[in-house]
Amino acid sequence: MQSVEILIAARFVFCYSHTRRAEFRRTLNIMPNRSAFSRFALRALAVVALLLASLGGWIAYDLSRAHKTDIRRFDADEVARLETAMWRAYYSRQRLKLFTEMGGLLRRQYGFNYWKSQVVAYHAARAAFVFKDGHSRADYERALPDLRAYYAALRDASTSDFDVERASRLELEWWIVHRERAEHQPGDLADALAALAAEIYRVPAERLEEHARARAEAMSIRDDKAAAGGVNEADWSRIDSLLHDSWRSLHQAVNP
């Protein structure tokens, strides 16, 4: 009997939601207690409609609410931990995990509210995987629209200004240098990383050399170990340690 009621209720919702009035009336005619069920169903639909309206209102409020934060005031150790997690997600092609970790970073370090962080994290994760699947500079540049959206949101939330277009292209550039590292000099990746941070935080790139060098070294360990057969937990621990050094150095450099 319960399964029959469920089937009838499912059919009721389908008919009602698609405004098929004749079918809706036939559905009511086969029910033993039409008026009681109608009242129950209408109440249920009203509750669902209220919940959806509340959710829509929450999302609209979150997306429209402006906030400002000093992007220099981050927790270096937490950012390093999250970056390690995001690298692991990226290289194992765990798109959802990368998206989730990025959302957490935006909320905890840069003060984004929930739904705004979801939208911005989507752009960041999508850019990463568009790039990952690319094979040429033209392919890689398909990540730029999402990088622009990401950096525009970060700039809008920041109490300090930076050039969104330049930051987006510098981000993409270090991705390309890293991907094509065999064609570059050993210091090129660190230079590209320092140039990006210098634009975002508006400090001379020379002050960011230690940050960039440690981050580049962490990438090299990951790449070399992967090429040699795989990255084990000891390798990830070393990578994580270098990322902690890198982000601590950046924090010190931008908060003199």
The mean pLDDT values, 10 residues at a time, for the chain of 256 residues are 39 44 50 60 69 62 71 96 97 95 94 92 97 96 98 96 98 97 94 98 97 98 96 98 98 94
**Tokens linked to 105:** 């970073």
Q: Are residues 7 and 95 in the same domain?
A: no
Residue 26 has what pLDDT?
Answer: 54
Is the same domain home to 105 and 189? yes
Task: Check whether residue 7 and residue 88 sit in a common domain.
Answer: no
DSSP 96: H
Neighbours of 186 (CB within 10 A): 9
Both 21 and 106 in a single domain? Answer: no
pLDDT at 65: 63
> Could you tell me if 51 and 117 lie in one domain?
no
Residue 183 inside a domain? The answer is yes
Instruction: Name the β-bridge partners of 69.
Output: 158
Residue 69, in any domain of the structure: no
List of residues 6+ apart from 34 with CB closer than 8 A:
28
Judge whether 205 and 194 are in contact, CB under 8 Å.
yes
Q: For residue 148, how far is the Cα from the chain centroid?
A: 14
- Tell me if 71 is assigned to some domain: no
Note whether 53 and 93 are same-domain residues: no
Residue 246 domain flag: yes
Report yes or no on 70 lying in a domain.
no
Q: For 231, phi and psi rounded to 5 degrees?
A: -100, 115
pLDDT for the residue 45: 72
The domain in which residue 26 lies consists of 2-64
Same domain membership, residue 166 and residue 97: yes
Is residue 81 located within the same domain as residue 58? no
Domain-located, residue 233 = yes
120 is a domain residue: yes
Task: Report yes or no: 23 and 16 within 8 Å, Cβ to Cβ.
Answer: no
Same domain, 190 and 239: yes
The answer as to whether 242 is a domain residue is yes
Q: Domain check: are 111 and 225 in the same one?
A: yes
Domain endpoint, select from 64, 84, 101: 64
d(C-alpha 55, C-alpha 234), whole Å:
44
Q: Is-contact 90 146, C-beta < 8 A?
A: no
- Domain match, 145 and 220 both: yes
Q: In total, how many domains does the chain have?
A: 2
